[in-house]
Amino acid sequence: MGPLSGLKVLDLSRVLAGPWATQILADLGAEVVKVERPGAGDDTRSWGPPFIKGADGTQGDAAYYLAANRNKKSLAIDIADPRGAALVRRLAESADVVVENFKAGGLARYGLDYAGLAAVKPDIVYCSITGFGQDGPNAERPGYDFVIQAMAGLMSLTGAAGGQPTKAGVAIADITTGLYATIAILAAIRHRDTTGEGQHIDMALFDTTLGWMANQAMNYLVSGKVPRPMGNAHPNIVPYQDFPTATRRIAVAVGNNGQFRAFAKALGRPEWGTDERYASSSARVANRDALVGEIEAELLREPAEHWLAAFDAVGVPAGPVNDLAQAFAEEQTKARGLVIEQPHPLAGTVRTMAQPMRFSKTPPDYANAPPQLGADSTDVLRAAGVSDAEIEVLIGAGVVETNARA
């Protein structure tokens, strides 16, 4: 029994930000019903390669879809059909949470917006996720992670110094918005449990991405100076970047003066610890180029393994610059159980990432792999009181789709 056992979530979202939030809720025990379009389903089911495959070579869902839809039930239903929309409203009557990422106001035509569902379930917690929010001059614009990374300033900080603006290697605007949405939903549930009041949560990718600019945002707000990309260097700390060694690159993060003295000693340059150019953090920032050049010269003398062992021995944070294959091969990855294997009706088994949250009493549950489209349509509708005869009519009319193989 997860900590959110008993919580019912109606997931009308697709692609990543919304599904990421609802997967977290599902892994923590909530019952999540994913509402999808018949025929195609969530866009990311086709965002491959790679795709999973059955033993007979049958192509299944894309890996992208598998990343964000574990532990959910799939209901394939056409909400553009009044009968489909009516069934979703019926499901909302027994739900605690609704998550959607349609364009602002896009669900009103079906009576599935906050006002429409609050009319049948006044204490509903309804979370809308859009690119730019429910108001403002950009409210009607579609929001895609890449565009948001550009507009919110993230790309201007990412990449090599003097180089072109660069996006992050994953859809970080979507992911972080999903995380903030999860926090907001749980806060709203707490409020509902205390007061009996539901509410509408308005989450925007732009707001979230600009909001987590953190020290870079404050650097600008305090100084008025626009931060520029610095590659892997840090604007406020030196040395805090990756360096070449005789074999491979390593990352070094020296966070205070004591660590710097230990770092200098491990390099065989203890005099740096008292050198007025390098002894203090502000001095190291002022003399960044000279210090980085000297560090690189020392590190190139020995292989990465030598330096990582030396830094570890004196408590200096450092690690190898891994690709994903190397990251998954790390003993720490294995010890923490960060990859799980689940049964899958098409592929036999599928590996997915575990939640990074560790609970001493109520751990996440990984009972169900990401569902095939319509895998649970019949069961979900039966649980809502829809008769088998009515379900057959809806299937015949194309309003509902079910996956018999699942």
SS3 assignment for 106-135:
CCHHHCCCHHHHHHHCCCCEEEEEECCCCC
Instruction: Give me the pLDDT at residue 55, please.
Output: 85
Helices (H) and strands (E) in the chain, counts: 17, 14
Instruction: Give me the pLDDT at residue 403, please.
Output: 83
Question: Which of 11, 78, 174, 207 is flagged as catalytic?
Answer: 174
Structure tokens at 43: 């866009």
Q: Please, what's the b/e burial string for 233-254 (b: 16 or more CB within 10 A of its CB; e: otherwise)?
A: ebbebbbbbbbebeeeebbbbb
All residue ranges of the chain with pLDDT < 50 are: 405-406
- Measured distance between the N- and C-terminal CA atoms of the chain, rounded to whole angstroms: 24
Q: Which amino acid is at 108?
A: A
Instruction: Give me the pLDDT at residue 1, please.
Output: 82
pTM listed for this prediction: 0.93
Element housing 341 (H / E): strand 339-344
Q: Specify whether the CB–CB gap between 96 and 124 falls below 8 A.
A: yes
Q: Specify whether the CB–CB gap between 143 and 131 falls below 8 A.
A: yes
Active-site residue 174, yes or no?
yes
Distance CA 266, CA 293 (A): 17
Helix, strand, coil percentages, rounded to 5, for the chain: 40, 15, 45
Instruction: Give me the pLDDT at residue 351, please.
Output: 94
For the chain, state the CA radius of gyration: 25
